[in-house]
């Protein structure tokens, strides 16, 4: 028997350490995503997907994919610039331009790669990338990989961003943020970010992953919600990025913007150049999903209304859930072990609401991440509320000034970070 490598010793120690801290993650074997999901033979109320508009199994999306597989087969066979960009990819590019009111669009195999590709294409050694502290891992990874100087500002703190921007008057600066923060469900202050970047001639990459299809009058996302991407307006500092894998129910990432910006990405984004193009059927499914978003606005209205009611009711029951206007509700517990216990208690009641722990969120802010879809209804919310019972901030005996809105565990600003 050869001796284990030094890596194997390190792997065993690292896993033991994660296990001891209650941070070891394992895979669940899940059935198809819907309002319920089968896990280990049990059908659970599904509060753990990003399938916000319930499009992953929409008949029109399925039919578009099925038809495309019949005609085109499964794989695209090559990268986009070689021969993998088919007529179906071009149809998706055009559909994204129409949906987003943009001049051009660039496709990536995933949203993760869209961030990696866009940031490394737009920032080099000598440039500066400035991030919100809570932005998605793919933005952080892209920034690190770019070789640029990486700086971060406290979450949504535009004054601190301005201070950083002021330090680099002669450098090319890329600012990158999420528009909806995936683990908090809160919005970026986009108008202020745009103003700061405009003033300092910085480019602002905004990741609409959790907003595309969900926010804005026509579902274009948080930029539309803030009136920032009206048709025909100059795009200014704003460069918009999204994913096809959340509300649109499929797979793939994209960036929309001017033809020049998109040409640059097509020529410099290694995460799109050196990887196989999306399956043509994935492109066809995304076109169908965009059609549904346009034709069935009631889907986004429904999921937002449900989220509004759940947020109100959880807060009234003393749970630490920050205000918000998205289908992502963080129920903040604090300690990792206590969060896991609550998640397990819900699992016993037939509800899947995952515990999110460090390093995904800062230590001491472990939480249940509850996400709703257009397929949920009032009865599902009632089931969750009943299984949770009263929260830690609800003083059963309100003498002494406790009660909803008081008490420990009900201080979103203080308890979160």
- Residues lying near ligand PLP in the complex (CB under 6 A) are found at 110-112, 115, 136, 138, 178, 182, 207, 209-210, 243, 245, 253
Query: Cβ of residue 112: shortest distance to ligand PLP, in angstroms?
Result: 4
Integer Cα distance of 107 and 91 in angstroms: 11
The beta strand positions in 93-189, using DSSP E, are 104-108, 128-132, 149-153, 173-178
**Choice between 72 and 112, CB closer to ligand PLP:** 112
Integer Cα distance of 157 and 164 in angstroms: 11
**Choice between 46 and 246, CB closer to ligand PLP:** 246
**Choice between 144 and 309, CB closer to ligand PLP:** 144
**Choice between 36 and 212, CB closer to ligand PLP:** 212
Query: Cβ of residue 308: shortest distance to ligand PLP, in angstroms?
Result: 21
Please state the separation of Cα 49 from the chain's center in Å: 11
Query: Cβ of residue 122: shortest distance to ligand PLP, in angstroms?
Result: 16
* Torsion angles phi and psi, residue 45, rounded to 5: -60, 125
Pairing state between β 128-132 and 149-153: parallel
Query: Cβ of residue 199: shortest distance to ligand PLP, in angstroms?
Result: 25
Query: Cβ of residue 213: shortest distance to ligand PLP, in angstroms?
Result: 13
**Choice between 225 and 315, CB closer to ligand PLP:** 225
**Choice between 54 and 184, CB closer to ligand PLP:** 184
Count Cβ atoms below 10 Å from residue 78 Cβ, excluding itself: 12
Cis-peptide, bond into residue 84, ω within 30° of zero: no
CB 249 within 8 A of CB 55: yes
Integer Cα distance of 214 and 360 in angstroms: 23
Helix (H, G, I), strand (E, B) or coil at 16: helix
Tell me, what DSSP letter sits at residue 84? I
Query: Cβ of residue 63: shortest distance to ligand PLP, in angstroms?
Result: 23
The residue with its CB nearest to ligand PLP is: 111
């Amino acid at each position: 028997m050869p001796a284990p490598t030094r890596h194997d010793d390190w792997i065993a120690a690292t896993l033991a350490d994660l296990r001891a801290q209650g941070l070891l993650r394992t895979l669940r074997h899940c059935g198809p995503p819907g309002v319920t999901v089968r896990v280990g033979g049990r059908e659970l109320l599904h509060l753990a997907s990003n399938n916000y508009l319930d499009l992953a199994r929409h008949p029109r999306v399925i039919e578009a994919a099925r038809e495309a597989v019949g005609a085109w087969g499964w794989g695209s066979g090559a990268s986009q610039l070689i021969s993998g960009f088919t007529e179906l990819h071009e149809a998706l590019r055009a559909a994204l331009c129409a949906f987003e009111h943009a001049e051009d669009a660039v496709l990536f195999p995933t949203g993760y790669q869209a961030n990696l590709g866009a940031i490394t294409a737009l920032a080099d050694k000598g440039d500066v990338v400035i991030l919100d502290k809570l932005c998605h891992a793919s933005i952080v990874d892209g920034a690190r990989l770019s070789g640029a100087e990486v700086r971060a500002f406290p979450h949504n703190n535009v004054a601190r961003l301005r201070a950083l921007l002021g330090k680099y008057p002669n450098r090319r600066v890329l600012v990158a943020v999420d528009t909806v923060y995936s683990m908090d469900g809160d919005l970026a202050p986009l108008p202020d970010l745009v103003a700061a970047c405009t003033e300092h001639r910085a480019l602002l990459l905004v990741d609409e992953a959790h907003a595309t299809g969900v926010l804005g009058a026509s579902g274009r996302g948080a930029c539309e919600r803030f009136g920032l991407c009206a048709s025909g307006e100059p795009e200014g500092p704003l460069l918009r990025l999204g994913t096809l894998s959340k509300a649109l129910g499929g797979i793939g990432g994209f960036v929309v913007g001017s033809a020049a910006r998109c040409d640059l990405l097509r020529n410099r984004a290694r995460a799109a150049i050196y990887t196989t193009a999306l399956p043509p059927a994935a492109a066809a499914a995304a076109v169908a999903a965009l059609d549904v978003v346009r034709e069935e606005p009631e889907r986004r209205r429904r999921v937002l209304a449900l989220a509004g009611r759940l947020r109100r009711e959880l807060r009234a029951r003393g749970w630490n859930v920050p205000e918000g206007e998205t289908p992502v509700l963080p129920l903040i517990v604090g300690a990792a072990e206590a969060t896991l216990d609550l998640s397990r208690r819900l699992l016993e009641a037939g509800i899947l609401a995952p515990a999110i722990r460090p390093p995904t969120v800062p230590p001491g802010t472990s939480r249940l991440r509850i996400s709703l879809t257009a397929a949920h209804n009032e009865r599902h919310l009632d089931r969750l509320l009943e299984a949770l019972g009263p929260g830690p901030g609800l003083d059963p005996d309100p003498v002494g000034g406790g009660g909803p809105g008081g008490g420990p565990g009900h201080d979103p600003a203080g308890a979160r970070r």
